[in-house]
Amino acid sequence: MGSLAFISTVAAGGDLSARESFLLPVGIVGSAIATVGLAVLIWCLPAFLVGVQRWVVAMVGAALAFTLALTWFDATAIVGIASTTTDPVFDDIGSSAGVSALFVPKSVLGLVAFAALAIFGRRSGTLGRAGAALIGLGAVVFLLPPYPPGLVLVSIGLLVAARGTGRDRSHANE
């Protein structure tokens, strides 16, 4: 939900500058919600991905932790920067090498971790075809600097996998 709120600020903010769009309350709240959601997901991940190799679960957790850092940065630091600078200064900060480097761990870990999860989760039977496909697609999209597109795909993939797992378990008990 937080990622979708963030995406809505991009879609709705056509006339706004980048600085002004980061000050929209829906984006700030969306980033905060994404932060909390990622913390819960990281906490629950080992219990959900039973049967997947530990290194894959650890890498997925690390990728999500770096994504969590970005969502928290968007909910706090970016708001502070946007509220105290002008549009040109904000654009210069946003295009700097230092800020761009913040996305590298999320992107690289996301690609490797979610691709591994899609492959090994499918092989172990933890993920169904649809969940693995969405997570695999999310792995590729995780290369994009903003977090929402990849996180939305991975989240939907995990949701599909969880629903399929619950259905499979309920039929196994019959």
CB-neighbour burial class of residue 174 (10 A; exposed 0-12, middle 13-18, buried 19+): exposed
pLDDT of residue 12: 66
Buried b (16+ CB within 10 A) or exposed e, 117-128: bbbbbbeeebbb
Residue 51 has pLDDT above 50, yes or no: yes
Per-residue model confidence as pLDDT tens digits over 28-44: 888 999 999 999 999 99
Q: What is the pLDDT of residues 59-113, one digit of tens each?
A: 999 999 999 999 999 899 999 999 999 999 999 998 889 888 989 999 999 999 9
Give the pTM: 0.86
At residue 173, does pLDDT exceed 50? no
Euclidean distance between CA atoms 22 and 60, whole angstroms: 27
